[in-house]
């Protein structure tokens, strides 16, 4: 079967392309921006890429066109697909109907931490010998790839007839996973963003997880959601798809998630981070219903990562991985690229790369680094790049999220609001530039040996990391 993917170079659609290829499909695709690293990754897998959305691509005559949410009405190729009544589906729908249909799906949803938590969960299952498939919006360093459809069968005791895990739940046997010998377990980052121009439901409603993590819930994606209540509705749509013999793993500290569950839940719930359920103390000792399960030994920073670990341990336990084995796996977890990733050190100045782009994520990232560094100077470098940030919806929360930084440098190019006014509460410690080269010069002038430059953006930020390292040298 041949699929042609429109918008193939995004992380999610590129992941679909990779696992479809592994499953034996012929895969081609197109995008407006076909360039490394995604282009080289896909081409290395034998996937043919085409620049642009020209109608001549209809001559490929695929069995189905798979449409990414970057595609909108007016796209010339999409218009001709519609005009000719050719078969098409969204990426999430095609994935669910073909590759996930017979899987035990473990979905990780939430405003923050989806990538990190999904990576932890996939690694725990891998460490336990369960050979999971996964599709994650980043690159877990334990795996080196963002997507995989593993064709190795799971190890015992996950054999015919199933087994009983330590939750007392029988783990059913999935006969060959629907695709000859493939592990039944599949971890997916369950995004609440809309599916496609023709399907405005959140992506995650397509995945039908048996194990669902609800990590947290705040207002985000102001370009498609009017308010927090609208996002809560989508999360409740997700809850409605989880079977009665599944499990919802829910952050017990989040009022928004409690409201979601109060609207109706037909599945057992395990909470983490609250007085009931899973807890972790200051010494990283993990408890479940007040019973000690073991201690987490790792180098990751921040309370947010400790909460992510609890969610991953709970979800892994649901498919039969003992907590002690989950903790052992996390001791070897290497985190995700672009999550407090050290890009280099020059003249005693360390440059980090982090994906934080929402005020809450910025706050927890800076606070985590502060906890590690003590009194060393932190220079926060920020690009407000997400659609929500560009709209200025969160601008008033930015000063508070950067309070732990010693100096703040903000790139204001292409913003629809005045970053200087927004960051004025920070006083003289905030520097705003509209030109990237000027921003780099300002940072270089302020930085000194022993400083830590924390660069935060959900995009490439104009290659600022390498430019900074070169300038500092």
**CATH top class, domain 100-330:** alpha beta
Task: Give residue 44's pLDDT.
Answer: 86
Which neighbouring-strand residues pair with 280?
Answer: 286
Query: What is the spatial distance between Cα 466 and Cα 468, in angstroms, rounded to a whole number?
Result: 5
Contact 13, 5 (CB under 8 A): yes
Short-list 297, 304, 365, CA closest to 333 = 297
Short-list 200, 188, 203, 196, CA closest to 137 = 188
Task: Give residue 152's pLDDT.
Answer: 55
Q: Extract the tokens encoding 369.
A: 């680094």
How many CB atoms lie under 10 A from the CB of residue 103?
Answer: 26
Q: What is the mean pLDDT of the chain?
A: 87
How many CB atoms lie under 10 A from the CB of residue 45?
Answer: 13
Give the residues of the chain that fall short of pLDDT 70.
35-37, 151-182, 222, 337, 387-388, 390
Task: Give residue 161's pLDDT.
Answer: 35
Task: Give residue 144's pLDDT.
Answer: 81
Contact 29, 42 (CB under 8 A): yes
Q: Extract the tokens encoding 351.
A: 């440059």
The verdict on whether omega for the bond into residue 157 sits within 30 degrees of 0, i.e. cis, is yes
The full set of domain ranges for the chain reads 2-91, 100-330, 341-472
Task: Give residue 160's pLDDT.
Answer: 33
**CATH top class, domain 2-91:** alpha beta
- DSSP letter at 15 equals H
- With vertex at residue 357, the alpha carbon angle to CA 187 and CA 432, rounded to the nearest 5 degrees, is 165
**Residue carrying structure tokens 């592994």:** 22
Q: How is 26-73 classified by DSSP, letter by letter?
A: EEEEEES---TTHHHHHHHTT-EEEES--GGGGGG--SEEEE-TT--T
* Burial classification of residue 390, based on how many CB atoms lie within 10 Å of its CB (0-12 exposed, 13-18 middle, 19 or more buried): middle
Region of 221 on the Ramachandran plot (φ > 0 left; ψ -120 to 50 alpha; else beta): left
Query: What is the spatial distance between Cα 118 and Cα 311, in angstroms, rounded to a whole number?
Result: 9
Arch. (CATH architecture) of 341-472:
Alpha-Beta Complex (3.90)
Q: How is 370-415 classified by DSSP, letter by letter?
A: HHHHTTS-EEEEE---SHHHHTTTTGGGHHHHTTT-SEEEEE-TT-
Percent helix, percent strand, percent coil in the chain, to nearest 5: 35, 25, 40
Predicted confidence (pLDDT) per residue in 363-416, tens digit: 888 888 887 888 889 999 988 877 667 677 778 888 888 988 999 998 888 777
DSSP-based three-state secondary structure for 249: strand
């Amino acid at each position: 079967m041949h699929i042609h993917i429109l918008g193939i170079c995004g992380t999610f659609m590129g992941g679909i392309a990779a696992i479809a290829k592994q499953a034996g499909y012929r895969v081609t695709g197109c995008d407006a921006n076909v360039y490394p690293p995604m282009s080289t990754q896909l081409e290395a897998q034998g996937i043919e890429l085409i620049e642009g959305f020209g109608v001549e691509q209809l001559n490929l005559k695929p069995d189905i066109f798979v449409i990414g949410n970057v595609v909108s009405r007016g796209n010339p190729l999409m218009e001709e697909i519609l005009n000719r009544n050719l078969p098409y589906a969204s990426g999430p729908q095609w994935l669910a109907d073909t590759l996930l249909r017979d899987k035990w799906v473990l979905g990780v949803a939430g405003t923050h931490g989806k990538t990190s938590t999904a990576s932890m969960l996939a690694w725990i299952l891998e460490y336990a010998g369960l050979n999971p498939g996964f599709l994650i919006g980043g690159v877990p360093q334990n795996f080196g790839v963002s997507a995989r459809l593993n064709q190795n069968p799971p190890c015992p005791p996950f054999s015919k007839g199933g087994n009983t895990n330590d939750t007392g739940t029988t783990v059913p046997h999935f006969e060959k996973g629907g695709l000859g010998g493939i592990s039944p377990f599949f971890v997916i980052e369950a995004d609440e963003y809309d599916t496609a121009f023709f399907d405005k439901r959140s992506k995650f409603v397509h995945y039908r997880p048996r194990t669902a993590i609800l990590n947290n819930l705040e207002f985000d994606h102001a370009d498609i959601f009017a308010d927090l209540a609208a996002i809560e509705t989508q999360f409740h749509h997700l809850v409605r798809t989880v079977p009665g013999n599944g499990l919802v793993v829910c952050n017990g500290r989040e009022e928004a998630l409690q409201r979601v569950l109060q609207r109706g839940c037909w599945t057992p719930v395990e909470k983490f981070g609250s007085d009931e359920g899973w807890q972790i103390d200051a010494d990283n000792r993990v408890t479940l219903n007040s019973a000690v399960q073991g201690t987490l030994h790792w180098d990751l920073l921040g309370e947010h990562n400790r909460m992510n670990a609890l969610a991953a341990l709970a979800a892994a336990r649901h498919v039969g991985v003992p907590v002690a084995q989950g903790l052992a796996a996390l001791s070897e977890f290497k985190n995700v690229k672009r999550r407090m990733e050290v890009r280099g050190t020059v003249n005693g100045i360390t440059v980090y790369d982090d994906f934080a782009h929402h005020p809450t994520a910025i706050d927890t990232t800076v606070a985590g680094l502060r906890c590690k560094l003590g009194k060393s100077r932190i220079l926060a470098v920020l690009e407000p790049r997400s659609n929500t940030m560009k709209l200025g919806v969160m601008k008033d929360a930015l000063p508070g999220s950067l309070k732990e930084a010693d100096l703040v440098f903000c790139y204001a190019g292409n913003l629809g609001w005045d970053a200087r006014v927004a960051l004025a509460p920070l006083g003289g410690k905030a520097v705003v530039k509209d030109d990237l080269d000027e921003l780099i010069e300002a940072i270089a002038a302020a930085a000194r040996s022993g400083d830590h430059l924390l660069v935060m953006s959900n995009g490439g930020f104009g290659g600022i990391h390498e430019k900074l390292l070169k300038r500092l040298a």
